[in-house]
Amino acid sequence: MSIRIILSTIIGAMLALIISFACSSETMIKPKQHQIVISGFEFVPNQLKVSQGDTVTWVNKDIVPHNIAIDTKQKSLSPEIASGEKFVYKVSKSLSYICGLHPSMRGKLILSP
């Protein structure tokens, strides 16, 4: 075998190992699922530390509908969430939110580094 073939084989094997390690380390960090209960006209918990890619599920246990709106713009993230219903959101950034129907209800998703 020539030196060129041996070196090509070694370099190819090293690249395969590097790519395999990079792919396996990405899959070790799995997104988490969080739950926020809407009860007594409050978000419980009202602050939650999350990571990008996590999902947050709001569960309405009040007898009236609520929704999730971006605090700074009052832009709705969710439709109205009726009693007993849920809304799921995939986290992409930190977020201050309110209930668009009951603006005194406030919450915050804090993105962890």
Flag the least confident range among 28-32, 35-39, 59-63. 28-32
The pLDDT value recorded for residue 44 is 98
8 Å CB contact between 53 and 106: no
Residue 26 has pLDDT above 80, yes or no: no
Residue 35 has pLDDT above 70, yes or no: yes
Cβ neighbour number for residue 95 with a 10 Å cutoff: 20
Percent above pLDDT 90 for the chain: 65
Phi-psi group of 105: left, alpha or beta (phi > 0 → left; psi -120 to 50 → alpha; rest → beta): beta
Superfamily for domain range 33-111? Cupredoxins -  blue copper proteins (2.60.40.420)
For residue 62, name the pLDDT band (cuts at 50, 70, 90): very high
Query: Strand 95-98 and strand 69-70: pairing?
Result: antiparallel
Residue pLDDT, tens place only, 72-107? 777 889 999 999 999 999 999 999 999 999 999 999
Reference 56, options 5, 10, 107; nearest CA is: 107
Query: Strand 86-90 and strand 55-60: pairing?
Result: antiparallel
95 or 71, which is more confident? 95
